[in-house]
A and B are shown apart, each in its own frame.
Chain A
């Protein structure tokens, strides 16, 4: 293992992977409690359109995906608020549209190639230094923004009306949360791929929610699950040559399974009064 760490590509993979894991784990908690768990899924499909657009226009795919997803995230909120659409309906519509546009652009650009595959399935071991810097920096920004607004976001997640009366700007924080999620999804794309980035947002947070009775505990369990899965998944990928993204998601799921078992056992031992 020590020998492995001597490789630059592995150091980069660990750094990018852990950054993404922490950001996903924290955002995922709020999203699940807001009943917005599928937003990661929706945005990842839209990010696909962004990547295809980047390849089509021959600009940095990550930048194109970032712009497209952020716009779509704001659009989803507007659809929900203005048009009175249910959140999951808005996600259903925009995610299919994203996929359709992505496929169209990719075929026009004749770029159904290795590069597109890397975005679809993740290719963390091939991540470039610039992308690592971007990922770590933006993940740090996500964490900073969330920790500065932690109480407010928790308040409005728990009781939106009271939070509004107490002066929490809920509409602004909604927007902020969506844009942060969009950024995280786009960055997570390179780690586990478009198809699995939603898993990194939902599964570790769900594991945390299974066992925690305090919010702080949920944050720690979720973060630990995501980080552990990414680190172990990467090691497995290198050592026994399996796809890193698949290993990461399956590991997340195993922790979730354990957490669920724990919860069921606890509920049995101490029935609710």
Chain B
């Protein structure tokens, strides 16, 4: 089943076109890597899918309905690119950050919500930090907390926009393992935006490559044999050279 359908989407911010004729689907259970160089329109595309921007033409379907009619947004988790820039003095504990999503969605909250918060924090391995101020955690730890915040409303699909920027390689690897686990055990569909195709080798099942147009969309195996991939490698594209 298609969770998300992107139908001939084009977009511009008022100037030159940023996206042209993007057309693909995200199926239930996919682990999709959305790759492309900086400025290629990845973030813009995600924001269009999530209804934060209106496409200039084309449309989005979510769980079989036009996105304008879709209402069950709790089933969609989103961790924006700038989520990594947390104000170091923002007065919120890890628990409070997770609770924001829970209480925003449910009228009543209390001990039931509390149990739920502990459960998702355990799931991402951040239970012992539940009282810590969010601003004092490392970038990798903050990302785990944001995943917990998304998980607390039991999403079907998670969108992560370059979650591992500025995170060291080891933390990055264990972060991807967590995404793997959520994808395989919990059956949560994952859309991971990255300009680091190193990750593509290990975890993902699908690859979409965007650079204004949809340059490639298909399975991970086919991608590695594709010309797009070969071009990237031979050009020594910064996609690959990207190291932290």
Contacts and interface: CB of A to CB of B under 8 A. Distances in A.
B154 interface: no
B96 interface: yes
Contacts of B136: 213, 272-273
Interface of A: 33, 150-152, 154-155, 158-159, 161-168, 208-209, 212-218, 272-273
Contacts of B133: 213-214
Contacts of A217: 91
Interface residues of B, number: 38
A162 B96 contact: no
A151 B100 contact: yes
Interface in B77-117: 78-80, 82-83, 87-93, 96-97, 99-105, 109
B52 interface: yes
A165 B52 contact: yes
B104 A214 contact: no
Interface of B: 47, 50-52, 71, 73-74, 76, 78-80, 82-83, 87-93, 96-97, 99-105, 109, 131-133, 136, 146, 149-150, 153
B80 A161 contact: yes
Nearest to A154: B100
Nearest to A151: B103
A155 B73 contact: no
Contacts of A165: 50-52, 73, 76, 78
A161 B105 contact: no
B146 to A, nearest CB: 8
A52 B70 CA distance: 49
A154 B109 CA distance: 15
Nearest to B135: A213
B73 A215 contact: no
Given A162-B83, A165-B50, A165-B78, A155 B90 contact: no
Given A154-B92, A155-B101, A167-B104, 12 more contacts: A151-B103, A152-B103, A155-B100, A158-B90, A158-B92, A159-B100, A163-B100, A165-B73, A166-B105, A167-B105, A213-B93, A213-B132
6 smallest CB-CB distances across A and B, nearest first, come from A151-B103, A213-B133, A155-B100, A167-B73, A165-B78, A161-B80
Given A165-B52, A166-B104, A215 B92 contact: yes
Given A33-B90, A166-B101, A215 B96 contact: yes
Contacts of A272: 88, 136
Contacts of A216: 96
21 contacts: A33-B91, A154-B92, A154-B96, A154-B100, A158-B92, A158-B100, A161-B47, A163-B100, A164-B52, A165-B51, A166-B73, A166-B78, A166-B105, A166-B153, A209-B89, A209-B91, A213-B91, A214-B96, A215-B91, A215-B93, A272-B88
B221 to A, nearest CB: 32
A204 to B, nearest CB: 14
Contact of A162 (B80, B90, B102): B80
Contacts of B88: 272
Nearest to A157: B90
Contact of B91 (A162, A168, A214): A214
A214 B150 CA distance: 20
Contact of A166 (B74, B109, B131, B132): B74
Contact of B99 (A151, A163, A167, A209): A151
A112 to B, nearest CB: 43
Contacts of A164: 52
A232 B146 CA distance: 43
A41 B105 CA distance: 33
A161 B79 CA distance: 9
Contacts of A209: 89, 91
